[in-house]
């Protein structure tokens, strides 16, 4: 027998998790899986729908990846976890509010805005951030593109990450190919009228430096309705030279070798005259988006690596005759009211998940997980170990956190005091069911998303 209090005797540690994407839900999972410290978790999201980027970022045709929602769902249904939707941290609810109701806060708000390319013409109509385009086809309720059309025949997608490959693949698909996905009906109509025929993917470095991964590259190469054109001279890299002390050839990962092999195989295939064409351009960086009233072209410069391995322009330019530019050059985090922020890295400074103030000292009770902690990198599963690390630190701090706030009030009371209407897990299940019903009515796949706040409010009875 020990004389330590059993978990049942202790006041539970109350933790608010801000954001219900994978990082937030995995944090709740790590908190409720352990038995050492009794906990109660409130997961607060500004949307009435959980799962963050699993719902509004993973491409609609990547149904297998989206299936992770089934695992996340089990966490939200845990008796000690509660989902609170429709409440925005920073505007509806402040850190001071949460100090009344919780011992600790885990910020897991992700990276929701696009990084800029920093070239002229970036704000012209027809120059579109991948974040906005992805939000649109994923039916994010904040997207207000009622009159968006895919009216350009030729499009450039800038960036060589997995988001760029998602965007190219989705753009190259027909409405019929997307019909059984969950894209809103209005989005499907835009795809049905799409004039896009030629898509250029621009990578500013070479095939060995591309950030995309082999499964996503294979998905692109397997598109039935598009010829994927890889220029043989761009992938003609002597594999025996990899590892040699030359720029771009040192430290080549296995993943990069796999990419190169796939690209070389593709370069040998002749185009078959399929309805759409995707052309991969390595060593090409945009320097100016052309046009006065809207995008009329894109000026690109050929690039190379310096002997030290840095990227530089060669001074050779080319103008591409594109009517739309999709910028997919990475995601960035957004500062949270009252929470320290590193505006260079676009993340919250931390040590082992403990938020650090400007002087480098931990902010008592504040923790961070996911993309807002480490930047927009890794796959969904990366957030599991990331969140587990944060929770380890939080649980180590538990005794001090409890002493600092011995009698927290219920979150309900805080929300009521602020006159805030919110939704809950049951509300999400109603939206979930309404989406499945809509899919059945339209004879489409498992679900068809709504795309506006009004629809959510109607379903939640908040009209």
Query: Which positions touch ligand NAP (CB under 6 A)?
Result: 65, 117, 158-164, 166, 204-205, 209, 211, 216, 285, 328-331, 376-379
**How far is residue 37 CA from its own chain's centroid?**
32
Distance, CA of 403 to CA of 105 (rounded, Å): 16
Q: Give the nearer residue to ligand NAP in terms of CB position, either 111 or 415.
A: 111
Q: What is the residue-wise DSSP string for 7-34? A: GGGSPPEEEEEE--SHHHHHHHHHHHH-
Distance, CA of 50 to CA of 22 (rounded, Å): 9
Distance, CA of 328 to CA of 171 (rounded, Å): 13
Q: Least distance in Å: CB of 397 to ligand NAP? A: 29
Please count the residues of the chain: 463
Q: Give the nearer residue to ligand NAP in terms of CB position, either 278 or 431.
A: 278
Q: Give the nearer residue to ligand NAP in terms of CB position, either 110 or 126.
A: 110
Q: Give the nearer residue to ligand NAP in terms of CB position, either 89 or 212.
A: 212
Q: Least distance in Å: CB of 334 to ligand NAP? A: 15
449 phi-psi bin (left φ>0, alpha ψ -120 to 50, beta other): beta
Q: Least distance in Å: CB of 371 to ligand NAP? A: 8
Q: Least distance in Å: CB of 331 to ligand NAP? A: 5
In sequence order, which residues have a C-beta less than 8 Å from that of residue 7 and are 6 or more positions away?
35, 36, 37, 38
Distance, CA of 301 to CA of 304 (rounded, Å): 10
Q: Least distance in Å: CB of 412 to ligand NAP? A: 36
Q: Give the nearer residue to ligand NAP in terms of CB position, either 14 or 205.
A: 205
Q: Least distance in Å: CB of 375 to ligand NAP? A: 8
With beta carbons less than 8 A apart as the criterion, state whether 98 and 105 touch: yes
With beta carbons less than 8 A apart as the criterion, state whether 24 and 390 touch: no
Q: Give the nearer residue to ligand NAP in terms of CB position, either 256 or 415.
A: 256
Q: Give the nearer residue to ligand NAP in terms of CB position, either 239 or 379.
A: 379
Distance, CA of 120 to CA of 122 (rounded, Å): 6
Please, which residues bridge with residue 82 across strands? 42
Q: Give the nearer residue to ligand NAP in terms of CB position, either 161 or 207.
A: 161
Q: Least distance in Å: CB of 158 to ligand NAP? A: 5
Q: Give the nearer residue to ligand NAP in terms of CB position, either 383 or 423.
A: 383
- Phi, psi (5° rounding) for residue 128? -125, 135
Distance, CA of 373 to CA of 65 (rounded, Å): 22
Q: Least distance in Å: CB of 216 to ligand NAP? A: 5
Q: Give the nearer residue to ligand NAP in terms of CB position, either 93 or 376.
A: 376
Q: Return the closest-CA partner of residue 328 out of 457, 204, 214.
A: 204
Q: Return the closest-CA partner of residue 367 out of 349, 355, 351.
A: 355
Residue nearest to ligand NAP (CB): 161
Q: Return the closest-CA partner of residue 20 out of 81, 96, 67, 94.
A: 81
Q: Least distance in Å: CB of 423 to ligand NAP? A: 28
Q: Least distance in Å: CB of 242 to ligand NAP? A: 18
Q: Return the closest-CA partner of residue 111 out of 147, 149, 161.
A: 161
Q: Give the nearer residue to ligand NAP in terms of CB position, either 205 or 451.
A: 205
Q: Give the nearer residue to ligand NAP in terms of CB position, either 65 or 436.
A: 65
Please, which residues bridge with residue 279 across strands? 200, 229
In sequence order, which residues have a C-beta less than 8 Å from that of residue 244 and are 6 or more positions away?
250
Distance, CA of 9 to CA of 28 (rounded, Å): 21
Torsion sign over Cα 192, 193, 197, 199: negative
Query: Helices 214-221 and 254-267 sit at what angle, rounded to 10 degrees?
Result: 10
Q: Least distance in Å: CB of 110 to ligand NAP? A: 10
Q: Least distance in Å: CB of 160 to ligand NAP? A: 4
DSSP letter at 239 equals G
């Amino acid at each position: 027998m020990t004389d330590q209090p059993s978990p049942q005797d202790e006041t539970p540690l109350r933790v608010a998790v801000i954001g219900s994407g994978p990082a937030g839900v995995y944090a709740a999972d790590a908190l409720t899986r352990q038995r050492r410290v009794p906990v109660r978790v409130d997961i607060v999201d500004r949307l009435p729908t959980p799962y963050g980027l699993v719902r509004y970022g993973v491409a609609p045709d990547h149904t297998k990846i989206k299936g992770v929602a089934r695992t996340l769902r089990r966490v939200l249904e845990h008796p000690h976890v509660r989902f609170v939707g429709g409440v925005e941290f920073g505007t509806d609810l402040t850190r001071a509010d949460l100090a009344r109701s919780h011992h600790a806060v885990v910020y897991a708000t992700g990276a929701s805005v696009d990084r800029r390319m920093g070239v002229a013409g970036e704000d012209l109509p027809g120059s579109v951030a991948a974040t906005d385009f992805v939000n649109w086809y994923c039916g994010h309720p904040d997207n207000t593109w009622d009159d968006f059309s895919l009216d350009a025949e030729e499009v450039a997608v800038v960036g060589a990450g997995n988001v760029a490959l998602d965007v190219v693949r989705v753009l190259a698909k027909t409405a019929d190919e997307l019909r059984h996905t969950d894209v809103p009906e209005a989005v499907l109509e835009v795809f049905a009228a799409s004039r896009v025929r030629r898509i250029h993917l621009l990578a500013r470095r070479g095939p060995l430096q591309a950030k995309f991964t082999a499964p996503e590259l294979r998905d692109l190469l397997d598109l039935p309705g598009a010829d994927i054109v890889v220029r043989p001279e761009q992938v003609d890299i002597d594999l025996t030279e990899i590892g040699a002390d030359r720029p771009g050839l040192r430290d080549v990962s296995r993943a990069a070798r796999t990419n190169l092999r796939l690209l070389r195989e593709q370069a040998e295939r002749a185009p078959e005259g399929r309805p759409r064409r995707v052309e991969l351009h390595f060593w090409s960086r945009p320097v100016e988006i052309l046009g006065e009233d809207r995008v009329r072209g894109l000026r690109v410069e050929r690039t190379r690596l310096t002997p030290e391995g840095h990227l530089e322009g060669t001074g050779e330019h080319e103008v591409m005759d594109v009517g739309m530019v999709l910028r997919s050059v990475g995601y960035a985090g957004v500062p949270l009211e009252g929470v320290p922020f590193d505006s260079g890295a676009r993340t919250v400074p931390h040590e082992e998940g403990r938020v650090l103030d400007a002087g480098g000292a931990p902010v008592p009770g504040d923790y961070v997980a996911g993309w807002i902690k480490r930047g927009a990198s890794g796959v969904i599963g990366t957030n599991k170990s990331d969140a587990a690390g944060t929770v380890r630190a939080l649980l180590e701090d538990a005794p001090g956190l409890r002493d600092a706030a011995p009698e927290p009030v219920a979150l309900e009371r805080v929300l009521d005091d602020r006159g805030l209407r919110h939704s809950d897990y049951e509300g999400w299940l109603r939206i979930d069911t309404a989406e499945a019903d809509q899919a059945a009515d339209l004879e489409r796949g498992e679900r068809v998303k709504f795309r506006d706040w009004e629809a959510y409010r109607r379903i939640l009875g908040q009209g």
